[in-house]
Structure 1
Amino acid sequence: MGQLLASGAYRPRIADAQIERYLRLFGAVEISGTKWCGKTWAAMAHGESITYVDRGANLQIVQADPAYALAGEHPHVIDEWQRVPQVWDTVRHAVDDAVGTKGLWILTGSSTPLNPGERSHSGAGRIGRIRMSPMTLSETGESEASVSLAALFEGEFAASQCPDGLVGLSELACRGGWPEATFLSADDAQTIVREYLGLVFEESVPRFGGDGLTARRLAASLARNLGQSPTAKTLAADVFALPQDAKATETQLKDMYRHLEILKNIYLVDEVPGWVPAARSPLRMRTKPKLYFADPSLAVGLLGGNSSSLLQDWQTFGLVFENLVMRDLGVYARALPNVSDQPLKYYRDDAGLEVDAIIERADGSWAAIEVKLSQEKVEAGAKSLLRLRSKLLKDELSRTPAPVFMAVITGMGEAPYRRSDGIYVIPIRSLAA
């Protein structure tokens, strides 16, 4: 197997640098994320041998003896370890026994164990954890990558031209960032996405004790409320087809929440938490998580759309585009130095002010970003950003520092630029980590 990075068979990923670093720091590394996002390929690129837990007779053997999955040349990849949760503790104990040796195992998982108690320890200090997503536009080569998020945090910016056009953007949103679909047309990729969703609802959800139809209805409701913080009432009404004035029962609400947890456990749905700056009281903040899909193509598939229908429905296109941007921002933000495992957040307060994305580093420095599909909406996005800065900094004794930068990310535009008020306007097809 060897180092596939050097052979040309592997398309480098932004997560590669973090994988390499964590292999130097931890005895084992876990790479988690939704199915088909490239976890196994990334693990194999850094590993020397592999055990596929869910293939052939391996599942039964590993269930009988979890240590079987650990055998192989290091770094040894254990693919889909969560199918036998006891593997986690077996790896943790083996790391302890190795007395300081690093980079022994790479675990990949497309879901978290159903019951937290199935592993007795978090693995903190022994197993480094990395989140992986479908490919960003910079990884697929569809961003010029001239504007670096990391460079913006250092005050560096250089303008350059980038691709423009809504037709191409709608096709990118429908195709998604699935590694094996990057060379397909949007329509062909959507066919695969619909098959993927079918397997999720027919196989993955039932494996977690859920009902596929309930999960499908919930996912469709989330797609219709993309990037929002829908109420339990809204979701339950869709899931159980309740009449307009009917109230969901406690049993229905519990069932809905249970299926939402399943969708999060299999990394189909991502949460973006609310940001509470130091200057603001949590009581005045609305911090309920916003929900996005791991890839915008999933929302398109659930809505039964395609690239043409997006161009005819700008509201839906705008929501799908926001999901695309949040996917890419999440990857770019996690690649920053000095960040927590959840550096991407959003802002919303009781006065109705909302900003789509806040990227916060561990030292408290932060940036604010608004997402707008068209250039015509840039001014509205800039006003929200300026209002946020004014609100947080009006108190000279505030503990909230000024944002390092503020930007409006757009779907259209041939070049990034800096406005006279200091706000950057950055087409998504110029952005990179």
Structure 2
Amino acid sequence: MIILENRVCPDSEVYLVMISYGSERPKSYRPRLLDERLQTLLQIFGAVEIRGTKWCGKSWTALAFGESVIHLDDPNVKSLVEADPSLALQGNKPHVIDEWQETPATWDATRRAVDASGGEKGLFILTGSSTPAKNSVTHSGAGRIARLDMSTMTLWERGLSTGSVSLKNLFDGSFEPSAYTGSLSMLANAICCGGWPALVGASPQMAAEVVNQYLDAMYEVSVPQKGGVGSTARHIVSSLARNVATSATLNTIAADASLGDSDAQPATSTVAFYLDMLESMYAIVNLPGWDAPVRAKSRLRTKPKRYFVDPSIPAAALGMNPERLLADGQTFGLLFESLCIHDLSVYTSCLPGSYPGSLHYYGDSDGLEVDAIIELNDGRWAAIEIKLGESKVSDGIHNIERLRRKVALNPAARNPQPEFCAVVTATSPFCRYDAEHDVYVFPIGALRA
């Protein structure tokens, strides 16, 4: 194994994490925030599955830790493994099984190999960009195969964040004010280019071509493979893009998908089918609702907000380039929120004490909505509002203060006081602490895990 030092903070505050990369590590591999988590899981489980949308970097990250690999999206290899699934397991360990869902029998073969190893750890790394049919595997892999969700790259991973504000440090009560010089045009480019590893440093024009091809491939290949119709999926994705960062109803999406023809409006059950399909392909993610009492009914009954796995997808679906985005403040605001939720989701997953679903939003019948709530498994929580412009910071603070009062008055809230509250903006000139309101204010381009 190759031992490397992975710098995860700016030079002003450097942490060195020892990462053991394998011999298959691509020469141009750019370290990811989940590398440390993957290394930990390989030390605990016999196998780890990395899940996420196509092209988000799963294969490269798996290879970075691997000593051998088999690619099941190669038709010649796939046909051999379909005849004998044990062939997929051959190689030095950790052995990477790329796109395992192409031959679902490899899942059960992996699970059996882990059982037969007598407790050996870190044998296999599987990658998957879609969920296979439930009847394709006979065992969940619980206790043998860990699951690790992967997203596209954050601003920090792309080198577009100064990293002067740490989410972990905020939970620990540590913060240092600093100046920030980022621009709206940088963020518009970042939204349209997205966090695709292969597009780091690409021009927005080049990125638009690639993202549009990504969508076309999804409509023409992936959707039909799952029993859907590409044109229907295209209309539903367009509706989701129009309604991004909202809890749009199935009826709203169905009406949008009809393109004004009431006779062609799909049933809500059809819309639900396509939403499930898009989730299974890791194209969209749901942000659940939150309330302070851990057993509150509202956690289950509040409709989730829907976001795309990368902000470049709704930008492409809406036909937005950076210049058009800068001229349309309302759309920019929605896609900026998508970018922030994307990055907050990744940073939250790196926090000690985070769990699947640690990131929420708050919305109630009084019309109060707070964009992001981070809750850790010890009950500590934080509230974050997202505002595109500095002029809207006071509105974000007002919403946070309303939420703090509501939670403080709720006798069922075990942790009524948040660890911290913040307003995340696009281009605030300073990362600062507002002592009067007990709220941090900083731009997304200054944040890291």
| TM-score, normalised relative to structure 1 | 0.95
**Residue of structure 2 equivalent to 1:426:** 442
Letter in 1 for 2:448: A
Letter in 2 for 1:332: Y
Q: CA deviation at 1:84?
A: 1.5
Q: CA deviation at 1:51?
A: 0.5
Instruction: Answer whether contact 1:359 1:367 (CA < 8 A) is retained.
Output: yes
Q: CA deviation at 1:275?
A: 1.4
What is the CA deviation profile of residues 191-210 of structure 1, one whole-angstrom value per residue up to 9, with x for unaligned ones? 11111111111111111111
Separation in structure 1 between the aligned mates of residue 165 and residue 380 of structure 2, nearest angstrom: 19
Aligned to 1:318, the other structure's residue is in SS state helix
2:426 to 405, 411, 418: 411
**Residue of structure 2 equivalent to 1:364:** 379
2:314 to 272, 289, 299: 299
**Residue of structure 2 equivalent to 1:254:** 269
Identity of aligned residues (%): 47
Separation in structure 2 between the aligned mates of residue 69 and residue 269 of structure 1, nearest angstrom: 30
Q: Give runs of ≥4 in structure 1 deviating > 4 Å.
A: 4-8, 246-249, 283-286
Q: CA deviation at 1:62?
A: 1.7
Q: CA deviation at 1:340?
A: 1.1
Q: Answer yes or no: is 1:278 the counterpart of 2:293.
A: yes
Separation in structure 1 between the aligned mates of residue 362 and residue 197 of structure 2, nearest angstrom: 32
Q: Answer yes or no: is 1:323 the counterpart of 2:338.
A: yes
Instruction: Answer whether contact 2:180 2:430 (CA < 8 A) is retained.
Output: yes
Q: CA deviation at 1:252?
A: 2.0
**Residue of structure 1 equivalent to 2:219:** 201
1:339 to 354, 371, 374: 354
Instruction: Answer whether contact 1:144 1:431 (CA < 8 A) is retained.
Output: yes
Q: CA deviation at 1:132?
A: 0.6
Alignment of 1:373-412 (within 5 A): 373-395=388-410, 398-412=413-427
What is the CA deviation profile of residues 122-151 of structure 1, one whole-angstrom value per residue up to 9, with x for unaligned ones? 212111111111110000110001111111
Change (3 A) 1:267 1:6: closer
Aligned to 1:341, the other structure's residue is in SS state coil
Separation in structure 2 between the aligned mates of residue 356 and residue 68 of structure 1, nearest angstrom: 48
Separation in structure 1 between the aligned mates of residue 264 and residue 202 of structure 2, nearest angstrom: 42
Change (3 A) 1:68 1:284: closer
Q: CA deviation at 1:286?
A: 5.1
Q: Answer yes or no: is 1:41 the counterpart of 2:60.
A: yes
Instruction: Answer whether contact 1:163 1:429 (CA < 8 A) is retained.
Output: no
Q: CA deviation at 1:356?
A: 0.7
Aligned to 1:37, the other structure's residue is in SS state coil
Separation in structure 2 between the aligned mates of residue 274 and residue 157 of structure 1, nearest angstrom: 28
> Bigger shift: 285-294 or 40-49?
285-294
1:211 to 206, 221, 229: 229
Instruction: Answer whether contact 1:143 1:162 (CA < 8 A) is retained.
Output: no
Q: Answer yes or no: is 1:147 the counterpart of 2:165.
A: yes
Stretches of structure 1 lacking an aligned partner (at least 5 in a row): none
Change (3 A) 1:284 1:297: closer
Alignment of 1:85-124 (within 5 A): 85-113=104-132, 115-124=133-142
Letter in 2 for 1:176: G
Instruction: Answer whether contact 1:365 1:401 (CA < 8 A) is retained.
Output: no
Q: Answer yes or no: is 1:18 the counterpart of 2:37.
A: yes
Separation in structure 2 between the aligned mates of residue 51 and residue 344 of structure 1, nearest angstrom: 35
Change (3 A) 1:98 1:260: same
1:267 to 254, 269, 282: 282
**Residue of structure 2 equivalent to 1:134:** 152
Letter in 1 for 2:388: L
Instruction: Answer whether contact 2:432 2:442 (CA < 8 A) is retained.
Output: yes
Q: Answer yes or no: is 1:62 the counterpart of 2:81.
A: yes
**Residue of structure 1 equivalent to 2:18:** none
Instruction: Answer whether contact 1:29 1:127 (CA < 8 A) is retained.
Output: yes
What is the CA deviation profile of residues 53-99 of structure 1, one whole-angstrom value per residue up to 9, with x for unaligned ones? 01141111122222111111000000000112221111111111111
Change (3 A) 1:204 1:336: same
Change (3 A) 1:128 1:137: same
Letter in 2 for 1:428: I
Instruction: Answer whether contact 2:292 2:415 (CA < 8 A) is retained.
Output: yes
Letter in 1 for 2:192: C
- Matched length: 429
Query: Cα RMSD between the aligned structures?
Result: 1.9
2:100 to 61, 69, 81: 81
Separation in structure 2 between the aligned mates of residue 334 and residue 292 of structure 1, nearest angstrom: 17
> Bigger shift: 348-357 or 154-163?
154-163
Aligned to 1:138, the other structure's residue is in SS state coil
Q: CA deviation at 1:256?
A: 1.5
Letter in 2 for 1:295: D
Instruction: Answer whether contact 2:311 2:338 (CA < 8 A) is retained.
Output: yes
Letter in 1 for 2:372: A
Aligned to 1:406, the other structure's residue is in SS state strand
Aligned to 2:386, the other structure's residue is in SS state strand
**Residue of structure 1 equivalent to 2:8:** none
Change (3 A) 1:397 1:281: closer
Separation in structure 2 between the aligned mates of residue 392 and residue 295 of structure 1, nearest angstrom: 32
Q: CA deviation at 1:3?
A: 2.8
Aligned to 2:178, the other structure's residue is in SS state coil
Separation in structure 1 between the aligned mates of residue 158 and residue 24 of structure 2, nearest angstrom: 16
Separation in structure 2 between the aligned mates of residue 252 and residue 8 of structure 1, nearest angstrom: 49
Q: CA deviation at 1:253?
A: 1.8
Separation in structure 1 between the aligned mates of residue 26 and residue 139 of structure 2, nearest angstrom: 37
Q: CA deviation at 1:166?
A: 1.0
Instruction: Answer whether contact 1:269 1:292 (CA < 8 A) is retained.
Output: yes
Q: CA deviation at 1:349?
A: 1.2
